[in-house]
Amino acid sequence: MISEIDIKNVDNAGMYDLIKSFPEQAAEAIDIAKSAKLKLSLSKIRNIVITGLGGSAIGGDILRSYSAGQSPVPIIVNRSYTLPQFVDKNTLVVVSSYSGGTEETISAYAQAKKKGAQILVITSGGKIGEVAEKSHGSWIKIPGGLPPRAALGYSFFTMLTAFQKAGIIRAKQAEVKETLELLRNVSDEYSDYGNNPQPLKLAEQMVNALPIVYSSSERLDAVNLRWRGQISENAKTVAYGNLFPEMNHNEIVGYSTLRDVLMRFTVIYLLDKEDHPRVKARFDLVKEIIRPYCMDVVELHSQGKSLLARMFSLIHFGDWLSFYLAVKKGVDPTPVTNIDILKKRLSRLN
């Protein structure tokens, strides 16, 4: 169990409140995107590249996974200074940078302009916001002042709504409504630490563990990535993971030697009711094989009817887990000291 004092002792910047208010942030993001003026020519779009890093890129990953069966054109996420060679006037480049100052994304943005691509900018301001405002192109300005990882509602739901407005993917208002309602319900449940909610229970089991996150590759690959990023940034604990069925063709063999290390593993299965039947069978069989080598194997099932709701049910669980893990470890979830050190040292090389 934890108390309000435990949280106040470590949560100096209010990460608890940011996670708890995520459903309201998502709803606000939808309203912001609905009122945005977009200048996109859908008939000319042949492919979509979402460029960004870290907390600004994960929204693109989730959108790519969610829309895989809906988008008539391929969508990729670019985490680099450079754009793919195929980018041209028939490409929609979504420039996602929460701060507007991410150097890799600034570089990719400049290339998109040179290549004559259609561009949609999602940012709170910064250098990217300045360029977007001067170009009078498609720009969705979102509220600033948050850690990028705590702004997923702005980075994902603005993009989703923009894609629906542009006709890139079909609007599914019932799915969005269900997702927001589910998020509000589970946020109330998970934030009530006095009742020892499930994310807190799991965090208590994982204080001294190395988290290993597994999921299917079809729908939950981006959710898997979000989990690992949140655990690393909030709980200051390295988290690893992989996808089924690929993991079955290589990584599974590693559960053999270094048994003292393996026994620190808490393996977390992120499961969905629409996982491929053969993948479901693989989950069960792999669990039997690796269980003797691990500290624990935990299964978490998505909630909700629609794919969007199911994805965000797991995402929100992971956000709360990472927060409670930080509290149990006695570390402030907000600072990202090593990232700040790296950025400062990179600036000296300019």
Catalytic residues: 233, 249, 343
Q: Give me the residues paired with residue 78 across strands.
A: 51
The Cα diameter of the chain in Å comes to 60
Token pair, residue 112, equals: 């998109």
Cβ-proximal residues to 48 (8 Å cutoff; 6+ apart), any chain: 71, 73, 74, 75, 76, 91, 92, 93, 94, 168
Whole-number Å distance between alpha carbons of 204 and 209 = 10
Whole-number Å distance between alpha carbons of 260 and 186 = 36
Question: How many other CB atoms are there within 10 angstroms of residue 260's CB atom?
Answer: 7
Cβ-proximal residues to 271 (8 Å cutoff; 6+ apart), any chain: 215, 280, 283, 299, 300, 301, 302
Q: Spell 306-332 as b/e; 16+ CB within 10 A means b.
A: bbbbbbbbbbbbbbbbbbbbbbbbebb
Classified as helix, coil or strand, 124 is coil
Q: Which alpha helices (DSSP H) does the chain contain, by range?
A: 4-10, 15-20, 22-35, 58-66, 103-114, 126-135, 152-166, 173-191, 198-205, 221-234, 259-262, 277-290, 307-329, 337-347
Torsion over CA: 46, 52, 53, 55 (sign): negative
Cβ-proximal residues to 330 (8 Å cutoff; 6+ apart), any chain: 9, 10
Kindly give the interhelix angle for 307-329 and 221-234, rounded to the nearest 10 degrees: 20
